[in-house]
Amino acid sequence: MAWPGATGPSEVFHRQCPAVQVLDHITSRWGIWVLLALNDGELRFFELRERIDGVSEKMLSQTLKHLVADGLVWRHVEPTVPPQVTYGLTELGEGTAQRLGGMFDWIRGNADTIMDARGKADA
């Protein structure tokens, strides 16, 4: 996607590139965890909060708003008292979560090697 003044493929390294905003939402502190959690299936808000260790209600709510606005996550509200809100991945979100899952699997498989390298660098 081009923006005014875009000069070519390197535009992704410019902060005004629209892809940068989306990438910021996906790779935010909680965005990646929300996408990975929803990759296993739809969840209600409280289930997401319980599944993602350390996320506050405020940060989860903000993250979900961004991911819904970006078209990666859908939101369904049941008109009950209190309302039951369920979230799931859109087709676009599924593609994103699958790629993130592959990256996470690679990191998990190489974590020991990475931690060894970190230990050597710190020594």
pLDDT 10s digit of each residue in the chain, 123 long?
Answer: 455 555 555 577 777 788 888 888 899 999 999 999 999 999 999 999 999 999 999 999 999 999 999 999 999 999 999 899 999 999 999 999 999 999 999 999 999 999 999 988 888
Q: What dotted CATH number matches 9-122?
A: 1.10.10.10
SS3 84: strand
For residue 62, give every residue at least 6 positions away whose Cβ sits within 8 Å of its Cβ, in sequence order, or none. none
- Residue 77 in contact with residue 84, Cβ under 8 Å? yes
Its pTM surpasses 0.85: no
In this structure, the number of other CB atoms found within 10 A of the CB of residue 66 comes to: 19
Strands (E), 1-123: 43-44, 73-78, 84-89
Per domain, the residue ranges of the chain are 9-122
Q: Please report how many Cα atoms fall inside a 13 Å half-sphere around the Cα of residue 119, on the Cβ side.
A: 6
